[in-house]
Homo-oligomer: A and B are copies of this chain.
Amino acid sequence: MRNRLWLLGFLLPLLVAAAPRRKVIIDQDAFGPGGPNLQPILMVLQSPDVEVLGITVESGDGWQKENVAHTLRMLQLIGRPEIPVVPGATFPLVNSAEATKRWEARHGKLFYKGAWTEVWSKEVLVRRPAPHGPEVVPPLVEGEPTLKPAHETAAAFLVRQVRAFPGEVSILAMGPMTNLALALRLDDRFAAGAKELVFMGGSFNPHPSGDGFGLEYAHTPRLEFNFRWDPEAASLVLRAPWRRILQVPVDPSTRTRFTPEMMKQVSAAETPIARYVARWVESFPLWDEIAAAVWLEPSLVTRREKLAVRVDTDGDGAGYGNTLSWPAGQGPGLGERDVEVVFAVDVPRLERLVVERLTSPGPTGTK
């Protein structure tokens, strides 16, 4: 018996190493350096059972070109130059800065509008450049990347990879879904060819926490930025024939934060990744980290519900970009489909997973 246990202890690591890793493409509006958009990418890169086929980038919190530069610089600093960074959509399908201004004149100022922000608060400007056009990449505070982006466009890359590994590729989408919408229209078999879509977006009945982030949902409980930047893309993605959709809306994030304790733990680690994270971390709600975490560890989800979900695409209406929902199977039948929605997660376990992935030496043991 003792001999056999010894044998198991010897074989197990080999078995794990030989097991096929979970293939994923990360789609993100990777506005950096570090922070809430890039930390979840690092969590996935740091998971030994995962193979990141590439990172597709679009506009959202920041413009695509700048987001690509931040992503490349991060991969360089953490020693992962082999991961493809694929530039995607700069503009949403239909929505625009001009339409947004017109909408605001009619329906009131949006709480947040990402790359369309006209004036950043002083606090934000400490680490981020002043608002600028989509073609401008201002000097990066974390240093300029020497790595280069892929030549392919994000949508073509998504289509090619899903065709190459039918039924095997998870899409982890944490920004507006413009790239996914384009891929769906480039290839009718794209959605059904992927293993699953796990995305951060939408808002149902978030608890409006007392802080500044909570205020966003006090007046517009159904409005979330990823959907609002490109409502038509989100609508199209939600009506596609995916084998499985897991939606991570704002709801589970409103009681989370990257806490001072988590920051301390990350700062104490000595890896290049932890140093990069600690340099740029901010105390934001764990919006995208939750999406990455529940894809990595589905057992973190403590409350999920199946709902029919769609997006309001009436560009002139007060609810443009709002999440629409109905009890499962009870929508009007205009293409909306039932989606699994994450409403709550185990927050202490989530925090531990975030810290563990951001401080571990990583799958390649990069130092």
Which residues of A approach B to under 8 Å, CB–CB?
A: 104-109, 204-205, 208, 215, 217-219, 221-222, 307, 312, 314, 316-319, 322, 324-327, 330-332, 334
Contacts and interface: CB of A to CB of B under 8 A. Distances in A.
Contact of A222 (B104, B222, B326): B222
Given A205-B218, A312-B318, A318-B322, 6 more contacts: A108-B332, A205-B217, A222-B222, A312-B317, A314-B314, A317-B318
Contacts of A326: 108, 219
A330 B330 CA distance: 36
B327 A319 contact: no
Nearest to A219: B325
B318 A106 contact: no
Say how many copies of this protein the assembly contains. Answer: 2
A219 B106 contact: no
A205 B324 CA distance: 15
A122 to B, nearest CB: 20
A216 to B, nearest CB: 11
Contact of A322 (B109, B319, B325): B319
Nearest to A215: B327
Nearest to A331: B108
Contacts of A312: 317-319
Nearest to A326: B108
A219 B218 CA distance: 16
A60 B105 CA distance: 33
B219 A221 contact: no
B106 A334 contact: yes
Contacts of A109: 330
Contacts of A218: 204-205
Q: Which 6 A-B pairs have the closest CB atoms?
A: A319-B319, A317-B317, A108-B332, A219-B325, A108-B326, A221-B221
A316 B222 CA distance: 18
A217 B221 CA distance: 11
A325 B220 CA distance: 8
A330 B110 CA distance: 11
Contact of A205 (B205, B318, B327, B332): B205
Contacts of A104: 332
A236 to B, nearest CB: 17
Contact of A318 (B215, B217, B319, B330): B319
Nearest to A313: B318
Contacts of A334: 106
Contacts of A319: 312, 317-319, 322
Contact of A106 (B106, B325, B332): B332
A99 to B, nearest CB: 15
Contact of A317 (B217, B219, B314, B325): B314
A316 B312 CA distance: 12
Contacts of A208: 205
Nearest to A103: B332
A223 to B, nearest CB: 11
Nearest to A318: B312
A227 B79 CA distance: 58
A108 B330 contact: yes
Contact of A314 (B105, B318, B322, B324): B318
Contacts of A215: 327
Contacts of A314: 314, 316-318
A284 B287 CA distance: 37
A332 B221 CA distance: 18
A214 to B, nearest CB: 10
